[in-house]
Amino acid sequence: MLSGRTVLILIGVAFLLRVGQEIFVPLALALLLSFTLAPIVSFLRKRSVPKILAVILAVISAFCAIAVFSFIVATQVANLAENIPTYQRNIVSKVQVLAQAGSGSGVLEHLSKVVEKMGAEIQTRATESQDTAAPEIPTREPMPVEIISRTNPLQTLGNLILPLISPFATAGLVIVLVVFMLLEREDLRDRFIRLVGLSDLHRTTAALQDAGKRVGKYLLMQLVVNALYALPITIGLWVLGIPNAILWGLLTLVLRFVPYIGPVIGMILPLFLALAIAPGWSLVAWVAALFVTTELISNNVVEPWLYGSHTGLSPLAIIVSAIFWSWLWGPIGLMLSTPLTVCLVVLGRHVPQFGFLDVLLGNEPVLELHEKLYQRLLAGDPNEATDNAEEYLREEYLVDYYDKVGLPALLLGEMDRQRGVMSESQIELFSSSSLTLVDNLSDIADEEENEEETEATEALITSVDETDLPDGRGQSVLCMGGRGVIDDAASAMLAQIIEIQGATVSSASYRDLAGRASQRVSLDGIDTAVVSFLNGNSKSHARQIIRRLKRIKPAMRVGILIPTANGQNYAQIDAADISADFITTSLNEAVKLALTQTKPRELVVVARKVGRPRLQMAPPAVAS
């Protein structure tokens, strides 16, 4: 699926993104912010606010919120830094208690030594600070030494200002880009369509709308979810007496943008502080319980209620994208990993050349149900196939599962067998796994049979739905495979469905119909026989089997189940050509025809000459 050229292009793009980080990071930030603010601008525009004013109001409100957030965090961090020395004693004493409690193990002994070094270092620093504060005893005056540094004043000024200018320059560039992207949104859209999608306006327009909807909704809803998560965390930490509760609440709001590891980091810091300020362990337990409870409510109630899984990303893709973007752009890449990956999935969903991105990163099933079943049966894993079938059967009946999933999976196996890509052992494993699957679903078949009996009783009073399968009580049906072991699996599925309808069902293998062996098949009491073929080129085989069965018991009806295969639909062929009473392509129809009592078709025998007349040869001449 991935060609060598595509791989080289991806490597080149990743290299350019890594090298041009200073350029692409502001562009990515501006693009995502414009996606976020575009709904706000549209909302203001619908209220008759001029376009320029709407853009300016949206941008100013967004960056003012960011500035207020940064100011509060900086103030809280400064306050926390002043109180850190008062927390050191509690931390060291608790770690020492843990080390003494587990002194028998090598790991805790090493931890104990580390703790002792930490305590000694803290004590040394405390002694040095006391010595510095105490009055000095005059001793011999040291020789004064003067160090003269010859530096350029401009260089010194540059060293002080440049580190401060860089973040402000990036922020200013992002603001300008966001403003112009929002002002020129329609023009940029038209230019993008002209550049990449003029030949397919429908697909390109759908891609742009999908990208804007997914990314904008994700960012806005994630912000709402994070705020609803941070609010109870902040209140709970304040009630528990954790210092700087506002700081930890704001940090959890931001860190939850980082998938999976963000909430963990946001929980560790308050836990560490709870460990430092309280002498016991109860406060740590309360803080942990607060975070765990809030996380469970947020994941299972708030998120599905607000936006569910509308990002379209698989969990593994979220983790891999977080690793990739953090390696590429550092912490900013980690924050932007999910929305950027959403854009890639949208690109793969609408552009055929990048379809592999949707397969690798998307959360849509990449295999159809019958393909997934075929893969599991081919791998010899009928148990997982049974689990998938039971999940499907929560909403559907068994006959629908066999018709829409089971038979198509068997057809895939039959086509691979015809192409010669399956060995004999693989064919046997596939067929035996299929029979095991049918046997595993026997409990569900029993439940449906009991349900059918109840519905049959009610049908004596009410009218019967035309789509219901007929009642098979009092009838006897023989189901058998036509040409191979995979046909036997299809026959087993059919037999199980007919048995659900109350009929007496017996089964036979394709081997029982080979040659003279068909004469040993017991047909006593059989009303109808149904032969299953998965090979679409089985017309002659079907004719021979029908003749054998009807010669043994002419009063028996014989039908053929031969699903659409090899691009041919044999239901269009006149059944009289092969003396069949019916030909069908689906299990549902096969059950209906097998349980419908009609007069059997007479066997058509073509008259043939048994032998050729011998030529009359003239007697040899006798010599005179």
Q: How far apart are CA 440 and CA 387, in angstroms?
A: 10
Q: What is the predicted pLDDT for the residue at 466?
A: 43
Interval 33-90: pLDDT, tens: 887 788 788 888 888 888 888 888 888 888 888 888 878 877 877 777 776 666 666 6
**Predicted pLDDT of residue 130:** 45
Q: Which residue has the tokens 């909430």?
A: 263
A 10 A CB-CB count for 562 gives 28
pLDDT band at residue 541 using 50, 70 and 90 as cut-offs: confident
Of 9-13, 226-230, 411-415, which range is least confident? 9-13
- Top pLDDT among 350 and 557 is at 557
pLDDT band, residue 362 (cuts 50/70/90): confident
Q: Could you tell me the two tokens for 345?
A: 């999935």
d(Cα 561, Cα 495) in Å, to the nearest integer?
A: 12
Measured CA to CA, the distance from residue 397 to residue 386 in angstroms comes to 14
Share the mean pLDDT of the chain: 75
Cα–Cα distances in angstroms (integers) from residue 134 to residues 75, 123, 127, 129, in the given order: 33, 16, 10, 9
89-148: per-residue pLDDT in tens? 666 666 666 556 554 455 545 555 554 555 455 455 445 544 544 444 455 555 555 555
Contact indicator for 269, 248 with CB cutoff of 8 Å: yes
- Please tell me the pTM assigned to this model: 0.57
Q: Taking the CA of residue 561 as centre, how many other CA atoms within 13 Å lie in the half-sphere pointing to its CB?
A: 31
Phi, psi of 566 (to 5 degrees): 55, 25
Residues β-bridged to residue 558: 529
Condensed to tens digits (0 to 9), the pLDDT of residues 432-456 reads: 999 999 998 888 777 766 666 565 5
Structure tokens at 259: 């998938």
Distance CA 239, CA 31 (A): 40
pLDDT the model gives residue 133: 44
pLDDT of residue 63: 83
Helix or strand (DSSP H, E) at 531: strand 528-532
Cβ-based neighbours of 122, under 8 Å, separated by 6 or more: 88, 89, 92
pLDDT of residue 107: 52
Confidence (pLDDT) at 75: 80
Out of 142-146, 169-173, 237-241, 244-248, least confident range: 142-146
Q: What is the pLDDT of residue 16?
A: 86
**Cα–Cα nearest to 432, from 385, 377, 384, 497:** 377
Give percent of the chain above pLDDT 70: 67
pLDDT at 460: 43
What DSSP element (H or E) covers 188? helix 185-196
Contacts of 203 by beta carbon, 8 Å cutoff, 6+ apart: 197, 350, 351
The whole-number average pLDDT for the span 614-622 is: 48
Query: What residues form DSSP beta bridges with 479?
Result: 507, 530
pLDDT in tens, 365-380: 667 888 888 888 888 8
Give dist(CA 616, CA 441) in Å, integer: 70
Give exposure, 457-487, as e/b (b: 16+ Cβ within 10 Å): eeeeeeeeeeeebbbbeebbbbbbbbbbbbb
Give residue-wise pLDDT tens across range 547-579. 888 888 888 899 888 887 544 444 456 677 788
Q: What is the rounded distance in angstroms from the CA atom of residue 517 to the CA atom of residue 509?
A: 11
pLDDT band at 333 (very low <50, low <70, confident <90, very high): confident
For residues 409-416, give the mean pLDDT.
Answer: 89
pLDDT of residue 64: 86
Q: Show the DSSP H helices in 197-260 as ranges.
A: 201-240, 245-255
Stretch among 154-158, 165-169, 512-516, 576-580 having the lowest mean pLDDT? 154-158
Residue 333 to residue 258: CA distance in whole angstroms: 10
Name the DSSP class of 134.
Answer: S
Question: Edge-to-edge strand order for the sheet containing 504-508?
Answer: 504-508, 476-481, 528-532, 557-561, 582-584
Rounded average pLDDT over 574-603: 83
Q: Which residue has the higher pLDDT, 456 or 189?
A: 189
Task: Give the pLDDT score at 566.
Answer: 45
pLDDT for 185 beyond 50: yes
**Amino acid occupying residue 425:** S
